[in-house]
Chain A
C-alpha cells in the first residue's frame, strides 16, 4: 500500500517534545564557548541626522569588550555603486534597491526608523550588554517624520534626498474610466491592507565564529544558502563562509535570507576574532524584524444587474518602510493576482511603492498575494451588497470555469488548473449555507443584538513563483541499508523530514525510520533555495522524488550485475525494499547488498528539480461571525474551508499548515495592526500592545478536502503554506461586514476592532 496520502505522525516530534529544540540561543557548539553577547544600540527616533556617537562611557563599563559603529567597518568593502536611473523600469525581483536608496549595515549619517541598528555592543554577559547599550550616546538632529503613505506622497520630507522623491518604484495602471460608464452597478472606494508583524515565537538570533580564515554563522533563517550569498557582502568568497540553520522557531517569510543585524553580528566576530552570540528581545523583534502587508488600495468595480462583473481596477500603494528590501516585488505580485478567481473582461492594475519612516516591509505569509485576494474578495462582496445579490451567486457567475484552464489572466498570470465552483459548493454544503442565511434573516427581523455574518472568500494564489530557480536534493543509500537525504529546502515547522522520508519510502521501499533528512548546512548542502513561497514540497519534494528515481536506476544496474542478469529483468519490490529478478521472487537482494556493490559502498544521486511554471492553489473559505451591535464586539463562531493544493502527501501536515494559516489570516482581519504616531514612534512594540491572536479568540476549524492536481511537477502538488492565510483574511472581514450590512454598512477596514465596527454601525444608521 502506498504511504502517500496517509496520516503519518511526525518523526521530528519526539526530540522536540522531550528535550526541546536546539534553536540558535540553545547551541552548545564548542566553538561558541566563551562567546561574547551582542546587544544593539538602536535608533530611538524615526528620522534624524546622526551628528555624533559617543561610546566612551559604555566602553568603561565592566564586561564591555567593544562598542562598534559604522565607522569601524573599514574592513567591509563598500557595495558596488548601482547606476541609478530614476526613469529606469521598476525592478520586480525581490532585491533591495541600490543607488540612493541603499540600506547600510549600521546607520551612518542618518536613521530612518525607530529600531534601526546604530551600534553593536559586545560584552561578556547579556545583562552587561543591556546596561552598556543604554550608555552609548547618539546625537540626533531630528528631521520631520514620514509616518504614513500620505506623508510619503506629500513629499515634504524626503528619506533619501538624493533620490528627490519618496516614490521608489511604480508601474502605471492603464486608467480608462469609460469602461465603467455603461455599467449598472459601480462601486469605488479605499481598502486598507494594514501593516502587520510576523511575530515568529522565536525572535531573530545568530551566532558567529571566525576561525582559520573561515566564517561560520548559525542563523535563525529559512534559507542558509541564501544567507551565505548575502554574507559575501563582508568581502568573503562563498567558500569561506558556512551558514547553519539550527532549529528555527517559525519564520513566516520574515526569516528569508539574513537581516542586517545578523550580518553585523557575523562581521563583529570576524572583526574582533571572538565568537559572538545574539538573541534579540521581543521588543527589538517588533521594531527590527521586517513586517508585512502595508498596502493602501483604491478600487473600482462595475458590472451588470444580472451579476456579471465587467470591469475591475486596483491601484496599489505599497508602504515599503524605510528601506525597499524587496523593491517592487510585493506590489507586483499583488497586481499579478489582482483579478483572483474571476473571468473579468477588463482589469486595470498598477502600483506605486513609497518609503516611510517605518520598519522595512518584506515577505509575510503570502507576500503580496494576500493583499490581492483580500481586496478582490472584499470588492466582490461590496459590489454584491450594492447590487442586492447573494455573494455566493455572484462568485459562481464570474468564476473562471474548469474548462477554461490553462487560463492566462488579464494581468499575465498563467493559472494551471482549478475548480473554483467545486470548492465553493463543497464549503456551502458542509457549512449549511442556506440554513445559516435563514438564521441570519431571523435575527435581522427580530433585531437581535447578536447579528450573524457569513463571509465568503474564493481565492487563488501563486506558489513557487520562483520555480525556475528550482531546488536541490542529494540522496545517498548506504551499505547498511539506510538512506540520507540532503535537501536545499529548509524546515522550520512544516514537517519536511517526515514528508521527504515518506517520498523515499514510497519510491525505494526503504522504511522511513531508516531515512535521515538533513537540511540547512551550506558545508553539506552548498546549493539550495530554502523554504518560502510555499515551494518546499512541489520543488524540494519533487527533487527528492527525482533523486530517488535516479538512485533506483543506478541500483538496478548494480543489482543486474550481482544477479548476473540483464538490467531489464531486475525489479524493485517497493513494498519490502528488495530487488528481484522478474518472475523469480526467491532470489533477492537488499538495499544494503546493492549499495555495497556501488563504488565506495554508497549509491548517490545529486539532482536539481526546476519547474518551468508556478502553480496556483485555490479554495473557498466561509467564515461565520457574530457581531454584538451594541458593543461592536466580533466573535468568530465557525470557519469552514476547502483548500485545494493538489494531491495531499500527508493530511496531518497539510491540515497543520491550513490551521496555522487560517489563524494568521483571521488575526489580520480581527486584531493585529502595527501602529505609529505622527512622529513615527511605534505604538505596538511589545506583545502587550501588539495583540497576537490567542486560542481564546478562535474556534476550531472545519476543513474539507479538495484535490485538483497540477501538471507542473511529477507529484502533481501545489503549495499550501500560505493558502490558509490568503483565504481566511477576506472571509473573516466579509463575515463581520455581512453581519451589519443590513444596517447599511458597506465596508470596515481591518482590523475589525469593536471600536471600528461600532462606529461603522453608528455612522450607517445616522445617515439612514
Chain B
C-alpha cells in the first residue's frame, strides 16, 4: 500500500507491504538507521521515536498507521544549525552512553518525558524509563543525563 510520512521534516512517499513496521520503514525506506531494533516485541525501547511529538516504540506501529503523520528520529533532533538537543548534550557530558545501541531510543524517550514533565525527580525518570533497556550503563548516567537536561531546560 502507498503511505506518505513526514520524517524529520521531509516528506517520504512509498509503496510498502501491509505488515511493514514503522521501524522498518524508517530504516529501510527512509534510510535512517539511528533507530535500532532490539526486540520487535515492544520490550526494549531501542526503536523509540516521536510520532506527532509523542514517543512511541516504532516496532509496535505499522508504517500504514503512521500514514499522513509526522515522525522525528534521533537524526532529526538536533537544531537546524546542527546544535545538539539538550538531551543529546547531557548524554555526552554525563557519559550516558557506552555502546550506543539503546541510545537513540533512550534520548527520544527522555526528550518526550521531559516535555511532559519538565522537572522530574529521579524516581519519575526511573519509572518513566522502565520500557527502555540498556545493558551497558546500569542506567546510572542515563538518569543523571535526564536530570541534567531537565535542569538545563529549566534555565
- B18: min CB distance to chain A, Å: 11
Across-interface contacts of A16 in B (CB, < 8 A):
97, 100, 103
* CB neighbours of A705 from chain B (8 A): none
Q: Nearest CB to that of A498 among chain B residues? A: B95
> In the complex, are the beta carbons of A663 and B138 less than 8 A apart?
yes
Pick the residue among A13, A492, A688, A695 that contacts B97 (CB under 8 A). Answer: A13
A200 touches B99 (CB 8 A): yes
Are B38 and A664 interface neighbours, CB within 8 A? no
**Across the interface, do A22 and B33 meet the contact criterion of CB distance under 8 Å?**
yes
Instruction: Judge whether B92 is part of the interface by a CB distance below 8 angstroms.
Output: yes
Contacts of A21 in B (CB 8 A): 99-101, 103
B102/A201 in contact, CB under 8 A: yes
**Which B residues lie within 8 Å of A26 (CB)?**
27, 33
User: Which of B36, B84, B142 makes the CB contact (< 8 A) with A17?
Assistant: B84
Q: Is B43 in contact with A688, judged by CB distance below 8 angstroms? A: yes
Is A692 interfacial (CB 8 A cutoff)? yes
Shortest Cβ gap from B105 to chain A (Å):
9
Please indicate the chain B residues that have their CB under 8 angstroms from the CB of A22 in the complex: 33
Q: With the chains together, A700 CA to B145 CA distance in Å?
A: 13
Q: Is A405 an interface residue (CB 8 A)?
A: no
- Nearest Cβ on chain A to B122's Cβ, whole angstroms: 7
Among B41, B84, B92, B132, contact of A695 (Cβ-Cβ < 8 Å): B132
Whether A701 pairs with B138 at a CB distance below 8 angstroms is yes
- CB neighbours (8 Å) of B56 from chain A are none
Contact, CB under 8 Å: A694 / B130? yes
Q: Whole-angstrom distance between the alpha carbons of A248 and B40 in the complex? A: 19
Asked if B44 and A493 make an inter-chain contact with CB atoms under 8 angstroms apart, the answer reads no
| Residue total for B at the interface (Cβ-Cβ under 8 A) | 55
**CB closest chain-A residue, reference B123:** A696
> Which among A10, A127, A652, A664 is the interface contact of B135 at CB below 8 angstroms?
A664
Residues of A within 8 A of B82 (CB): 18
* Interface set, chain B 110-151, CB cutoff 8 A to A: 122, 125-127, 129-144
Contacts of A248 in B (CB 8 A): 99
- Residues of chain A within 8 A (CB-CB) of B35 are 20
A653 within 8 A of B: yes
**Segment among A39-47, A155-163, A532-540, A654-662 that sits at the interface with chain B:** A654-662
Q: Once bound together, how far apart are the Cα atoms of A250 and B38, in whole Å?
A: 12
* Given A18-B78, A202-B36, A282-B40, A696-B127 contact (CB < 8 Å): yes
Chain B residues with Cβ below 8 Å from A279 are: 37
Chain B, residues 18-40, CB within 8 Å of chain A (1/0): the string is: 01000000010000011111111
Contact-residue size bin, chain A (C-beta under 8 Å from the other chain): 35 or more
Render A3-27 as a binary contact track against B, CB cut-off 8 A, 1 for contact: 0000001101110111111110110
Nearest Cβ in chain B — how far from A161, in angstroms?
A: 38
Q: Is the CB of B135 within 8 A of A20?
A: no
Partner of A249, one of B36, B130, B132, B143: B36
Contact between chains at B95 and A10 (CB < 8 Å): yes
> Is B93 part of the binding interface, using a Cβ–Cβ cutoff of 8 Å?
yes
Q: Is the CB of B95 within 8 A of A281?
A: no
Chain B residues closer than 8 Å to A247, beta-carbon distance: 99-100
Closest chain A CB from B79 CB (angstroms): 11
Question: In this assembly, does A687 line the interface, its C-beta being within 8 Å of a C-beta of chain B?
Answer: yes
Q: Is the interface of B mostly helix, strand, loop or mixed?
A: loop
CB of B92 within 8 A of CB of A662, answer no
CA distance A652 to B91 in the complex (A): 12
In whole angstroms, what is the CA distance A25 to B40 when docked?
15
Q: Check: A670 CB closer than 8 A to any chain B CB.
A: no
Task: Report the minimum CB–CB distance from A202 to chain B (whole Å).
Answer: 5
Give the residue name and chain of the A residue nearest to B24 (CB). A126
A698 touches B139 (CB 8 A): yes
Is residue A528 within 8 Å, beta carbon to beta carbon, of the partner chain?
A: no
Asked whether any CB of chain B lies closer than 8 Å to the CB of A372, the reply is no
Render A432-445 as a binary contact track against B, CB cut-off 8 A, 1 for contact: 00000000000000
Please name the residue on chain B nearest to A656 by beta carbon: B95
Taking CB atoms, residues of chain A closer than 8 Å to B37 are 25, 279
The answer on a CB contact under 8 Å between A687 and B43 is yes
B139 touches A663 (CB 8 A): yes
CA distance A247 to B88 in the complex (A): 19
Q: Most chain-B Cβ atoms within 10 A of its Cβ — which of A26, A653, A660?
A: A660
A652 to B93, CA, bound (A): 10
Closest-CB distance, A727 to chain B (whole angstroms): 13
Q: Which of A627-675 contact B (CB under 8 A)?
A: 652-653, 655-656, 659-664
A window 23-55: CB within 8 A of B = 23, 25-26
Q: How far is A65 from B127 in the complex, measured between Cα atoms in Å?
A: 47
Closest to A661 in B: B138
A444 to B: closest C-beta gap in Å? 27
By a CB distance below 8 angstroms, the chain A residues around B126 are 695-696, 698
Closest to A652 in B: B95
Alpha-carbon distance between A593 and B5 when the two chains are bound, in angstroms? 54
Q: Tell whether A579 is near chain B: CB-to-CB under 8 Å.
A: no
Given contacts A18-B78, A250-B135, contact A201 B91 (CB under 8 A): no
Asked if A660 contacts B103 (CB within 8 A), the reply is: no
Does A200 contact B135, Cβ atoms closer than 8 Å? Answer: yes
B40 A281 Cβ-Cβ under 8 A = yes
Interface residues of B in 6-28 (CB under 8 A from A): 17, 19, 27
Contacts A18-B75, A495-B98 hold; do A695 and B125 have CB atoms under 8 A apart?
A: yes
Residue B46 at the chain A interface, CB threshold 8 Å: yes
Residue on A with the closest CB to B43?
A687
Within 8 A of A (CB), among B70-111: 74-75, 77-78, 82, 84, 88, 91-93, 95, 97-104, 107
Return B89 CB to nearest CB of chain A, in Å. 8
Partner of B100, one of A127, A249, A686: A249
Partner of A656, one of B17, B75, B98: B98
Complex Cα distance, B45 from A694, in Å, reads: 11
Contact, CB under 8 Å: B138 / A17? no
B33 adjacent to A20 (CB under 8 Å) = yes
Closest residue on chain B to residue A27 by CB atoms = B33
Q: Please tell me if A309 contacts chain B, counting CB pairs below 8 Å.
A: no
The answer on a CB contact under 8 Å between B17 and A18 is no
| CA–CA, A248 and B135, complex, Å | 13
Residues of the B chain whose Cβ atoms lie less than 8 Å from the Cβ of A494: 98
Q: A20-B34, A202-B36, A282-B44 are in contact. Are A656 and B141 (CB under 8 A)?
A: yes
- In angstroms, Cα B129 to Cα A700, docked, is 14
The residues of A that contact B134 with a CB separation of less than 8 Å are 201, 695
| Known A127-B19, A201-B101, A663-B138: A19·B75 in contact at CB below 8 Å | yes
Candidates B17, B38, B95, B129; contact of A201 at CB < 8 Å: B38
CB distance from A688 to the nearest CB of B (A): 6
Q: Do A493 and B92 touch across chains, with their CB atoms under 8 A apart?
A: no
Contact partner of B136 (CB less than 8 A), chosen from A13, A19, A250, is A250
Question: Are A662 and B41 in contact (CB-based, < 8 A)?
Answer: no
In the complex, 5 of the A-B residue pairs with CB atoms within 8 angstroms, ordered by the A residue number, are: A18-B84, A20-B33, A250-B101, A494-B98, A686-B43
- Across the A-B interface, give the 5 residue pairs with the lowest CB-CB distance, nearest first: A20-B34, A249-B101, A663-B138, A493-B99, A493-B98
A201-B133, A492-B99, A661-B138 known; 8 other A-B pairs, CB under 8 Å?
A: A19-B75, A200-B99, A248-B99, A249-B100, A493-B99, A656-B98, A694-B130, A695-B143
